[in-house]
């Protein structure tokens, strides 16, 4: 056997046990230094004291004058008072939308609709920082995310569908695409502006008018968007926004003069909406919950995989329907990968959403924080091993430590239920067949991830994973040209891409 050459005096070899503790990465040690605060200025946002409903191009108070308060989840302090719509207001909004569909928006040529949508995209770009700051204040998500992901993607979404408005003939060869009419759109609180864009852009491009109901904890970016609609001079009634509790969402979805219902939210509410519109001939698309498997094989590029896993589950506090909440790791590398993950978790910064260094912001609401806490407690009670990095949480506000469970069984609630929080469940597998079996062992089918250096294995896994989006050697990537939506109980219909247009048209013979 050849012997290793002795190190010469000129080369310095640093072995792991000689590395200084203070490096803070790669060695499982705590970060020895503090970051100085890097707060994003809030003064770019001028909050109104009161926000009205946006109906027929005007801001109006709710019938009866009801209001509710939207709070900043990172401080628990009120941000603004918002009109609480009643069924009467929803009826007015639908009437306004119908009128605009018949008389103004629905009469425009695709070419003119396109220019309006390009205008909206441009205004979103121009006012992007204002939207990003407001979004982080109202939802609790980190500013670097709202600034770099939510707002630019929302603007891009309007841009993409703007170009389709006058090219529908090319999207549906051999068919004539007609608008459905009035679309009722109900969106969640995890990506308030982005979900608004996903809903409104394709609907308007195809010639529909909309009544949008934002989530009751995150109404402000939608109401600021109403300002954009006015700036862009859209015909009154083309876009209507009604804020309030879930009940008015159900009233909107089941309104007899609504032709199309698009809902993003939990599978439970999705089923209720499905029952509500049963037998009515309304077109329906649902984008519901998920419990995505992120499958890591032993030949995966591990450091990239660690970044992808972290992005997959801790992005947006894990409040993502397509979050990679189940890590399926091949048994032979499980210990190594989990060590690396724990190490990486120690560098995640949890705190003020408006701080530019923050990785994980505030949980969106008290109710959601309680739900996460309850499910994490169930994980402990059912026998999984809990790991949370030592990090200080702000004294006020709804915060939750990035959490990792090992020793998780498929039967555990944390492996079956959508937690919608920064909680990762780690399971292991030995063979590709076992990985597929476990990955698909869920009622959901929104997304999945696969990490391996072997191309043929990627394609095999891609074809066997029952999910509407499969990220291979990456995770949680979004783009307006890329269709998004679920298999199984994660819903039906697609948003994004040409396929997203299909949800808003009726196809007729040429």
Partner 1 sequence: MATGRPSHGRASRNGAFGNGVGPRISVRKTYKLYIGGAFPRSESGRSYLVSGADGAPLANAVRSSRKDVRDAVRAAHGAFPGWAAKTAMNRGQVLYRVAELMEGRRDQFVAEVATAEKLRDARAAEVVDRAIDRWVWYAGWADKITQVLGSSNPVAAPYFNFTIPEPTGIVGIVAPETSSLLGLVSRLAPPLVAGNTVVLLASESRPLPAITLTEVLATSDVPGGVVNVLTGRKKELVPVLAGHVDVDALDVWGVPDDLRVETEQLAADDIKRVSRRPAGVSDARFDWLDDRASERPEWIAVFLEMKTVWHPIGV
Residues at the site binding partner 1, with contacts judged by CB under 8 A? 156, 173, 175, 267, 270-271, 273-275, 278-279, 281, 286, 288, 443, 458, 462-463, 467-474, 477, 479, 481-485, 487-492, 494, 497-499, 502, 507, 509
Distance CA(219)–CA(201), nearest Å, equals 18
Least Cβ distance, residue 124 to partner 1 (angstroms)? 15
Nearer to partner 1, 61 or 483 (CB): 483
Nearer to partner 1, 43 or 509 (CB): 509
> Containing H/E element for 69?
strand 67-72
> What's 364-390 look like in SS3?
CCHHHHHHHHHHHHHHHHCCCEEECCC
Distance CA(470)–CA(449), nearest Å, equals 6
Pairing status of strand 283-287 against strand 260-264: parallel
Distance CA(447)–CA(310), nearest Å, equals 16
Nearer to partner 1, 243 or 476 (CB): 476
Least Cβ distance, residue 418 to partner 1 (angstroms)? 14
Label residue 409 left, alpha or beta by phi (over 0 means left) and psi (-120 to 50 means alpha). beta
Residue 119 DSSP SS3: helix
Beta strands in 118-223 (DSSP E): 175-179, 182-186, 209-213
- The yes-or-no answer on residue 287 being catalytic is yes
Nearer to partner 1, 16 or 279 (CB): 279
Q: Choose, from 321, 322, 418, 489, the residue flagged as catalytic.
A: 321
Residue 321 DSSP SS3: coil
Nearer to partner 1, 7 or 174 (CB): 174
Least Cβ distance, residue 12 to partner 1 (angstroms)? 31
- Residue 448: both structure tokens together: 């999945």
Q: Which residues pair with 450 in a beta bridge?
A: 295, 472
**Cβ(178)–Cβ(506) under 8 Å?**
yes
Q: Choose, from 287, 319, 418, 495, the residue flagged as catalytic.
A: 287
Least Cβ distance, residue 448 to partner 1 (angstroms)? 10
Least Cβ distance, residue 489 to partner 1 (angstroms)? 5
In terms of Cβ atoms closer than 10 Å to its own Cβ (0-12, 13-18, 19+), residue 412 is buried
Beta strands in 85-199 (DSSP E): 175-179, 182-186
Least Cβ distance, residue 19 to partner 1 (angstroms)? 29
Nearer to partner 1, 354 or 448 (CB): 448
Nearer to partner 1, 211 or 436 (CB): 436
**Cβ(109)–Cβ(166) under 8 Å?**
yes
Distance CA(392)–CA(341), nearest Å, equals 19
Distance CA(478)–CA(476), nearest Å, equals 7
Residues in the chain: 510
Q: Which residues pair with 68 in a beta bridge?
A: 82
Nearer to partner 1, 108 or 498 (CB): 498
Least Cβ distance, residue 259 to partner 1 (angstroms)? 9
Contacts 24+ apart (CB under 8 A), 40-48: 40/132, 40/133, 40/136, 40/143, 40/147, 40/354, 40/355, 40/356, 41/133, 42/133, 42/137, 42/354, 44/129, 44/130, 44/133, 45/130, 45/133, 45/134, 45/137, 47/79, 47/80, 47/134, 47/220, 48/80
Least Cβ distance, residue 478 to partner 1 (angstroms)? 9
Listed in sequence order, the DSSP H helices in 232-333 are: 246-253, 267-277, 302-314
Least Cβ distance, residue 299 to partner 1 (angstroms)? 16
Nearer to partner 1, 291 or 494 (CB): 494
- The yes-or-no answer on residue 321 being catalytic is yes
Nearer to partner 1, 401 or 502 (CB): 502
CA 195, 198, 201, 203 torsion-angle sign: negative
Least Cβ distance, residue 227 to partner 1 (angstroms)? 26
Positions annotated as catalytic residues are 287, 321
């Amino acid at each position: 056997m050849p012997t290793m050459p002795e190190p010469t005096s000129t080369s310095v070899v640093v072995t792991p046990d000689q590395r200084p503790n203070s490096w803070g990465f790669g060695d499982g040690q705590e970060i020895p230094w503090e970051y100085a605060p890097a707060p994003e200025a809030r003064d770019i946002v001028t909050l109104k004291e009161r926000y009205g409903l946006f109906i027929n191009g005007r801001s109006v108070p709710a019938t009866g004058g009801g209001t509710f308060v939207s709070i900043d989840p990172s401080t628990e302090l009120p941000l603004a008072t918002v009109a609480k719509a009643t069924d009467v207001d929803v009826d007015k909004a639908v009437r306004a939308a119908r009128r605009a569909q018949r008389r103004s928006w629905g009469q425009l040529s695709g070419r003119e609709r396109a220019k309006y949508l390009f205008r909206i995209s441009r205004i979103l770009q121009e006012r992007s920082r204002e939207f990003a700051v407001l979004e982080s204040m109202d939802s609790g998500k980190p500013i670097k995310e709202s600034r770099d992901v939510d707002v630019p993607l929302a603007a891009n979404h309007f841009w993409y569908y703007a170009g389709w408005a006058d090219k529908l003939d090319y999207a549906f060869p051999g068919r004539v695409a007609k608008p459905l009419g009035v679309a009722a759109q109900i969106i969640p609180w995890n990506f308030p502006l982005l979900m608004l864009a996903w809903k409104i852009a394709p609907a308007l491009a195809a010639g529909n008018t909309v009544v949008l109901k934002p989530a009751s904890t995150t109404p402000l970016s939608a109401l600021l968007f109403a300002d954009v609609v006015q700036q862009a001079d859209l015909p009154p009634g083309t876009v209507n926004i009604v804020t309030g509790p879930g009940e008015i969402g159900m009233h909107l979805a089941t309104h007899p003069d609504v032709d199309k219902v698009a809902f993003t939210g939990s599978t439970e509410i999705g089923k209720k909406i499905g029952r509500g519109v049963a037998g009515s001939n309304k077109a329906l698309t649902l984008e519901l919950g998920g419990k995505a498997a992120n499958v890591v094989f032993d030949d995966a590029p591990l450091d990239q995989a660690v970044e992808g896993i972290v992005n997959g589950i801790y992005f947006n506090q894990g409040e993502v329907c397509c979050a990679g909440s189940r890590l399926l790791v091949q048994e032979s590398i499980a210990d190594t990968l989990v060590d690396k993950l724990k190490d990486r978790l120690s560098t995640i910064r949890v705190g003020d959403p408006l701080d530019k260094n923050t990785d994980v912001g505030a949980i969106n609401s008290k109710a959601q924080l309680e739900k996460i806490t309850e499910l994490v407690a169930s994980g402990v009670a059912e026998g999984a091993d809990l790991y949370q990095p030592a990090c200080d949480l702000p004294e006020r506000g709804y915060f939750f430590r990035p959490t990792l469970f090992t020793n998780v069984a498929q039967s555990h609630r944390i492996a079956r239920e959508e937690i919608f929080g920064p909680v990762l469940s780690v399971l292991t597998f030995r063979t590709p067949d076992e990985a597929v079996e476990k990955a698909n062992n869920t009622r959901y089918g929104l997304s999945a991830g696969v990490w391996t250096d072997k191309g043929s294995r990627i394609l095999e896994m891609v074809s066997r994973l029952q999910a509407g989006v499969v990220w291979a050697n990456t995770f949680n990537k979004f783009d307006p040209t890329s269709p998004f939506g679920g298999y199984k109980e994660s819903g039906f219909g697609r948003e994004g891409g040409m396929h997203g247009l299909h949800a808003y048209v009726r196809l007729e013979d040429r």
